[in-house]
Structure 1
Amino acid sequence: MADMVFFTDNYQDHSTNEGYQFEFFCERCGNGYSSPFQHSVTGFGGRLLQLGGELVGGEAGDKASRLGFDAQWLRSSTRGRTRDRALAKAVEQMASNFVQCHRCGDWSCKAICWNDERGLCTRCAPKLDQEIAGMQAAAQIDQLDDRIRQQDWTAGVEYRQQVTARCPSCGGDTGGGKFCRECGHALAAASAEHKKFCTNCGTDLGTAKFCGGCGWPAG
């Protein structure tokens, strides 16, 4: 029976015509390690056979060229025994750096994302000391926010309500005043100050001559 190659889903194949190299990464934080580069015997050697065949020529040269071509073809195959052996070796070299969580199935780096006490990754079983430190920091921020909001930071700051940026009459920049500096049109802030109210019941009169709420003359 053919040897089985242990397969993981947290790696990328960075192999080239010169050899094999794989990058393994943590599926939680993204950190990772690259396996040592494994030179391919069919990479540079295969090209030498091809080059030698071209230099020698004749039947011997043709045979050498064919051997070189075959070597290159074997190397360029997507799958193959050589590539599988290289992957198996890389997995063995990197195995000590990663642990697969049996709860979520993700591969986690032992250095940061693995909780030895719980036997699970830190996504499934966060480290309590880190969680407590994070909660304390968040609480401090909330408490500081409350204390800062309790103090009046607007003393001495001038502001106007209902500031209109564009004049509704001419479309010009109002400059933030009560009247448009381009055409003199009364803006919302100015209009609000000049509203008329009924002296009897306080209803907004607008332009009416008599109060719509009690009938009292506008005066």
Structure 2
Amino acid sequence: MTQAVPFTDNFSDLSNTQGYQFDFRCERCGNGYRSAFQRDAVSTGQTLLRSVGSLFGGPLRDLGNAADQIMLNRGTNSPAKDKALAAAVEEIADRFTQCRGCGDWMCRAICWNEEVGQCARCAPRLNDEIAGLQAQARRTQAAERLSSTDLLTGVDVAAAPVAACPSCGARAGGGKFCTDCGASLAPTTACPGCSAELAAGARFCADCGTRVGG
């Protein structure tokens, strides 16, 4: 009577023509463990047989080709592979446990809440949960405090922004004067007609209509 082979859904098959190996991973954090490589003694003999067959030809070559076919079949399923998988599952069994809440396989080292017998996703650890909530509260309180704090003292928010210094062309970093040449970032001129203060580049006075520029 054949025996059922235990397996999980969180593994990858790394087996090759030389033997068997499997990767098992946590379905929450992604960390995992790789089972020890199990060399297949049969494949070693088949490799030797194939090498001898290619050297001498004839019936030995036919045996070598048959060995290739056997190894191809072994790559998909075989009693030897079933045995290797069962051994690998037993090898890493103590590093994983299945959560009864979500059904996923979790690593015991990081993602298992031993106190309640569920994974840290279904039942987060109390200290971890409190730490996360505290961090969220700090962000919320910081945003609220900043929203009521005046960060624009001395800044004329109604003034048109100056992208470059009108004197040297350097990129303006804010403030009233250029940090490269010291020139005013908002130079003005006086109207020749009424002496009203005009912004640089104005062609007519806004107060008396006198033409300023050419």
Residue 74 of structure 1 deviates from its aligned partner by 3.6
Residue 79 of structure 1 deviates from its aligned partner by 1.3
Aligned length: 174
- The match for 1:46 is 46
Deviation readout 1:37-96 (Å, 9 max, x if unpaired): 11123434322211112223344x2464255334423433x1111111111111001101
DSSP-derived class of the 1:15 partner: coil
Deviation readout 1:122-169 (Å, 9 max, x if unpaired): 111111111111111221222222222222001122333898xxxxxx
Q: What is the CA–CA distance in structure 1 between the aligned matches of 2:25 and 2:62, rounded to whole Å?
A: 43
Normalization by structure 1: what TM-score?
0.67
- Match of residue 152, structure 2, among 151, 154, 170: 154
Normalization by structure 2: what TM-score?
0.69
- The match for 1:69 is 68
Aligned amino acid, residue 117 of structure 2: G
Aligned amino acid, residue 37 of structure 1: F
Aligned amino acid, residue 131 of structure 2: A
Q: What is the CA–CA distance in structure 2 between the aligned matches of 1:79 and 1:9, rounded to whole Å?
A: 17
Q: What is the CA–CA distance in structure 2 between the aligned matches of 1:19 and 1:161, rounded to whole Å?
A: 75
- The match for 1:33 is 33
Q: What CA RMSD, in Å, does the superposition of the two structures yield over aligned residues?
A: 3.1
User: Where does structure 1 lack aligned partners over 5 or more consecutive residues?
Assistant: 164-176, 185-219
- The match for 1:117 is 115
DSSP-derived class of the 1:43 partner: helix
- The match for 2:143 is 145
Aligned amino acid, residue 88 of structure 1: A
Q: Matches of residues 181-192 of structure 1 in structure 2 within 5 Å?
A: none
Structure 1 contact 103–120 (Cα < 8 Å) conserved: yes
Is 1:107 the counterpart of 2:105? The answer is yes
Q: What is the CA–CA distance in structure 2 between the aligned matches of 1:134 and 1:58, rounded to whole Å?
A: 72
Aligned sequence identity (%)? 45
Structure 1 contact 47–72 (Cα < 8 Å) conserved: no
Is 1:126 the counterpart of 2:94? The answer is no
- The match for 2:174 is none
CA spacing shift, 1:40–1:144, aligned 2, 3 Å: same
Aligned amino acid, residue 140 of structure 2: D
Aligned amino acid, residue 34 of structure 1: R
Q: What is the CA–CA distance in structure 2 between the aligned matches of 1:158 and 1:20, rounded to whole Å?
A: 72
User: Where does structure 2 lack aligned partners over 5 or more consecutive residues?
Assistant: 162-185, 187-198, 203-214
Aligned amino acid, residue 104 of structure 1: C
Residue 15 of structure 1 deviates from its aligned partner by 1.4
Q: What is the CA–CA distance in structure 2 between the aligned matches of 1:56 and 1:85, rounded to whole Å?
A: 34
Structure 1 contact 42–74 (Cα < 8 Å) conserved: no
- The match for 2:134 is 136
DSSP-derived class of the 1:96 partner: helix
- The match for 1:204 is none
Which stretch of the first structure deviates more once superposed, 100-109 or 50-59? 50-59
Structure 1 contact 35–93 (Cα < 8 Å) conserved: yes
